[in-house]
Amino acid sequence: MVNSIGSPTHTSASHADHQPVRFVHTFSEAGRLLPSASQWSSIELDFHLAPQSNTTYDSLPSQYSKSFDYELVITDKKWFKSFVYVSIFMLLVILAIVLLVRFLPNKHKHHGNSKNITLALNQALMFFDAQKSGNYPSSSPVKFRGSSGLQDGNTSNPPADLKGGFYDSGKNIKFSFPIAYTITLLSWTVIEYHDKYGSIATDLAGEIVAALSAASIVFKEDTGYSIKLIQSAEKLFEVATKNNTGHHHGTYTEVEDCGGEARMYYNSSGYQDELIWGGTWLFFATGNTSYLGYATGNFNAAEGEETASEQGVFYWNNKLTANAVLLTKLRYFHDLGYPYEVGLGSSSKKIDLLICSYLSHKIYNRTPGGLILLRPDHGEPLQFAATTSFLGKLYSDYLELLGRSGVNYILGDNPMKMSYMVGFGNKYPTNVHHRAASIPWDDQHYSCPEGDRWLHSKDPNPNILYGAMVAGPDKFDNFLDDRDKPWFTEPTIASNAGLVAALVALHDPPYRSSDSNDNNLGIDLNGIFENLQLVPPAT
């Protein structure tokens, strides 16, 4: 490359006869000197931006755009260095802005997701307000409900006061079995993640938790009440585990006077898992190792009783999987050794394999939209997906202390693009199979036959049952929002308990200062072990 007009050397501004133009740039392709208002140092810069053109200055112009080689002559190094420094600085600023823009959306998305989880959790808890029986509080946010069942138990012989409690689902029926499961599961979430409850609609959460009055660990500060709960639980456990000729082990639904019509809805398939479940929780509540001995000693028997269709499933009829998670935590953080290690080892092995199986598409089928199908032939897939999500997240937190989800599907990330929690998101079920939600709130009393006209109506429910998780889609992700099809649209307290558990586990923990020694998972590592004074077994 040469300077224009055949000049073999750098063109310099020192030629006085070229005034008033003091500086020039040479463009080898242009074939002429161009005046410049810039002051450059006498350093030649050759910008090879493209292959050099063979076209000379007297050639015909091409119809296509050309690339040029630039040869710049500059006269002042000081100004040039300043220019280089400023350019580098500007490039760094631009790079920083690009990186900031790149990562800010992720952070925003994270907080948005956390905000959605908080809203979903508040609404899921609100559903339990809609299920209350007995004297209904006027302060409740669910305004289409009122007092009900005030004579419950009066007609029994002898009469009993059975007011209160929770209706199971859309029907005005109370079942002891799922209520006990619901109370235990929700209480477990308070024990493990009580810090997270601090950041939820505190009065509502407090009212709901106060109503779930079976977990003495939750109410440990109310010593008198906690003791009464433990004493009642111990007496009941003693009767349930008694082994003599006058006592028969079995399920409550085997006995007509006990199970009655409940077996049509909640038929128990076995009792061993409930007994070790009760023994495990009594151990955590009292520290009495005889209860732990019962739980670990009978764990294998409970496994043998577990039906093939329920393996790996945690719900009102099968507590074995959740029990294994509890015993695994004990083994990880408070291993007691002999004589419990066999049962504890079986539990942790079961959970290790189970969590891996949840992730495998070969073991459990999924809908095309990604919803895990733990019991594909039994309907209500969402309640099983919710408890699976809870156990998976809880176990993950355990492992993180040592060293995503079905919930997203439930909240709208599914092929139907519908939130299966009523009131959450822009699209959700409006024909929920629920008596109170489907009958207008007009201060009129309607008998059951009179209520059928709303059951079969095609109009949306007049009352929004906020927070209710419906039964869910079929195994092909199809969902019919039909009040007359409860296998799609009916919510239950047991299902919602699993949803609350999963939402609490996934909820962001409260803010902790950087110098805090607490973990940042929101899980209480030691709370469940507070009562473990290792009381020796009674002799």
Pick the closest to residue 53 from 78, 31, 22, 72 (CA basis): 31
Compute the Cα dihedral for 10, 16, 17, 22 and give only its sign: positive
Active site includes 433? yes
The Cα–Cα gap between 26 and 460 comes to 79
Residue that the structure tokens 């905000």 belong to: 115
> Largest Cα–Cα distance of the chain, in whole Å?
127
- 70-75/23-27 β-pairing: antiparallel
Is there a contact between 262 and 168 (Cβ–Cβ < 8 Å)? no
Considering only CA atoms, which of 321, 337, 252 is closest in space to residue 280?
321
Structure tokens at 281: 């929780």
Cα(496)–Cα(390) distance, integer angstroms: 12
What is the distance between the alpha carbons of residues 97 and 179, in angstroms, rounded to a whole number? 55
Residue type, 60: L
Report CA Rg, the chain. 36
Tokens representing 108 are 């925003």
- Number of neighbours of residue 482 by Cβ within 10 angstroms: 14
**Spatial CB neighbours of 451, under 8 Å, sequence gap ≥ 6:** 435, 438, 439
Compute the residue count for the chain.
539
User: Any idea which residue has 């006269």 for tokens?
Assistant: 75
Q: Residue 333 and residue 402: Cα distance in Å, rounded?
A: 8
Given the residues 25, 110, 433, 434, select the one marked as catalytic: 433
Tell me which residues are annotated as active site. 433
